[in-house]
Amino acid sequence: MKQLLLEPCFIFILLVISVTNTPTCLCVDDASYTNCSNAFSCGNNNFNLKYPFWGENRGNYCGGGPNLESEKLTCEAQVPKITINLIKYRVLGWENTSQILKVARDDYWDNNNICVNGDRNSTFDNSPFQYDYDGLVNVTLFYDCPASFSPSTIPSLPPSTVFSFPCGGGSFVYYTAQALPSSYEAPCKIVVIPIFQTNNDSLENSERIIEALQGGFEIEWTGNYEKCEKCTGSGGECGSVDGNFQCFCKDGPHSASCKERQKVYNNSHCSTNLIRPL
Ligand SMILES: *[C@@H]1O[C@H](CO)[C@@H](O)[C@H](O)[C@H]1NC(C)=O
Ligand SMILES: *[C@@H]1O[C@H](CO)[C@@H](O)[C@H](O)[C@H]1NC(C)=O
Ligand SMILES: *[C@@H]1O[C@H](CO)[C@@H](O)[C@H](O)[C@H]1NC(C)=O
Ligand SMILES: *[C@@H]1O[C@H](CO)[C@@H](O)[C@H](O)[C@H]1NC(C)=O
Ligand SMILES: *[C@@H]1O[C@H](CO)[C@@H](O)[C@H](O)[C@H]1NC(C)=O
Ligand SMILES: *[C@@H]1O[C@H](CO)[C@@H](O)[C@H](O)[C@H]1NC(C)=O
C-alpha cells in the first residue's frame, strides 16, 4: 500500500530531474582525439611528428593517407624511422609549416655500408612524398664497375671531380657530385642520392661523403595540410578514416573542424541524460 502511493511520486521526481537536466556532458575526451594529440614518441628529439604520421603510440587513424603505409613511423633504438617504397629512412626533422621531412637513408648510415648498397635508388612514386630539390645536389655512386672503368672514361666530366671510396680488397665505390652527361651509360650500377648543397664540400675525403649522406635530404609531404591547420585551429587533432580526413575533437570526430555542428557519428561514450523516466 505504501509502495503503491510512493511510486507515482517517485516517477514524478525523476521526470523533474530529467527535464531540468540540461545536457551536462559527463564526457571523457574522445579516444581518437586523445591518441592523436600525442606526437610520435621516440628518443629525445623534439620533431613534433603528428599528422600525417602514425605508428607506435599513434593509431593509424592519426595518419594522413592516401598511402598510409608510407606515413608509418617506427622507433628503432630511439631513432624515428620511416619506410617508403621499401627503403628505410631515418627521420632527421619535420617542419609542419612547410611539410618538409628531412630524412637520411638508413642503409647508408653506418660507415662501410656505402660499399655494399648498390641496388636501390630512393623513389617516392605512389607515396604522398616527393623530392624537394631546393638546395640539394645529386651524388652519383658507381658500383660493381668493371676493371676497365676509371673516372677518366666518363666523357666531359673532369676526372678530378670523381672520387673513390676504398672498400677493401682493392675495390672501390666511385662517386661524384657532378651531373653525368645525359647520354652517358655507365658500365657500372648507379645509385643517385641527394645531399644538401651545404654538404657538398671536400667530398674527395671519404669520411666527408659518409657525413654528407648522413646529413640527409628533404622530401615534401604533398597532401592537403590546410585541412589539418583548419582542424587544429579549432582545437582538434588531425587524422583520417578510410582515406577521408577527420578532425578529432574532444567531443568526437568531425569532418573538417570542431566548430561545425554536424558530427561524423553519434557520441556514444558521452553519457548525457543519465536519469530517464522509466
Ligand atoms: C594510440 O593508439 C595506438 C593504436 O591503437 C596504441 O598502440 C597506443 O597505445 C595509443 N596511444 C595512446 C597514448 O593512447
Ligand atoms: C638510379 O637512377 C639512375 C638515374 O637517375 C639510373 O641510371 C640507375 O639505373 C638507377 N639505379 C637503380 C639501381 O635503379
Ligand atoms: C637529381 O636527379 C633527379 C632525377 O635523376 C632530377 O630530377 C633532379 O633534377 C636532380 N636534382 C638536382 C639538384 O640536380
Ligand atoms: C659541388 O662541389 C664541387 C666542388 O667541390 C663543385 O664543382 C660542384 O659544382 C658542386 N655542385 C653543386 C651542384 O653545387
Ligand atoms: C605545428 O607545430 C607547432 C609547434 O611545434 C604546433 O604548435 C602547431 O600546433 C603545429 N601545427 C599543426 C597544424 O599541427
Ligand atoms: C544517433 O543514434 C540514435 C540511436 O542509436 C539514432 O536514432 C540517431 O539517428 C543517431 N543520430 C545520428 C545523427 O546518426
* Domain residue spans of the chain: 22-99+223-278, 114-215
CA 95 to ligand 5 centroid distance, Å: 9
Angstrom distance (rounded) from CA 81 to CA 107? 12
105 — alpha (psi -120 to 50), left (phi > 0) or beta? beta
Nearby residues of 173 by Cβ (< 8 Å), 6 or more positions away: 114, 115, 118, 141, 142, 143, 164, 165, 167
Q: Within 6 Å (CB) of ligand 3, which residues are found?
A: 133, 136-138, 192
> Grid cell 657500372 — which residue?
188
From the CA of 203, give the closest atom in ligand 4. 5
Instruction: Please give the grid coordinates belonging to residue 139.
Output: 651524388
pTM of the model: 0.82
Q: What is the pLDDT of residue 62?
A: 98
- Cα-based distances in Å from 241 to 100, 159, 224, 261: 23, 54, 15, 19
Q: Residue 252: enclosing H or E segment and its boundaries?
A: strand 252-254
Q: What is the pLDDT of residue 272?
A: 45
Residue 113 pLDDT > 60: yes
Query: Could you give the maximum distance between any two Cα atoms of the chain, in Å?
Result: 111
Instruction: Please give the grid coordinates belonging to residue 68.
Output: 598510409
Residue 158 pLDDT > 90: yes
CA 116 to ligand 2 centroid distance, Å: 16
Beta-strand ranges (E) seen in 46-125 are 73-76, 79-84, 87-95, 100-105
Does residue 192 contact residue 105 with C-beta atoms inside 8 Å? no
Residue 179 in contact with ligand 2 by CB distance below 6 A: no
Do strands 189-196 and 172-176 pair parallel, antiparallel, or not at all (unpaired)? unpaired
CA 96 to ligand 5 centroid distance, Å: 6
Q: Would you place residue 7 in the very low, low, confident or very high pLDDT band (cuts 50, 70, 90)?
A: low
Nearest CA to ligand 1 atom 11: 57
Handedness of CA 121, 122, 124, 130 (dihedral sign): negative
Does residue 192 contact residue 180 with C-beta atoms inside 8 Å? no
Q: What is the pLDDT of residue 170?
A: 86
CA 42 to ligand 2 centroid distance, Å: 33
- Residues 83-101 have a mean pLDDT of 96
Does residue 216 contact residue 223 with C-beta atoms inside 8 Å? no
Bond preceding residue 187 cis, omega within 30 of 0:
no
Lowest mean pLDDT: which of 24-28, 95-99, 131-135?
Answer: 24-28
Q: Would you place residue 110 in the very low, low, confident or very high pLDDT band (cuts 50, 70, 90)?
A: confident
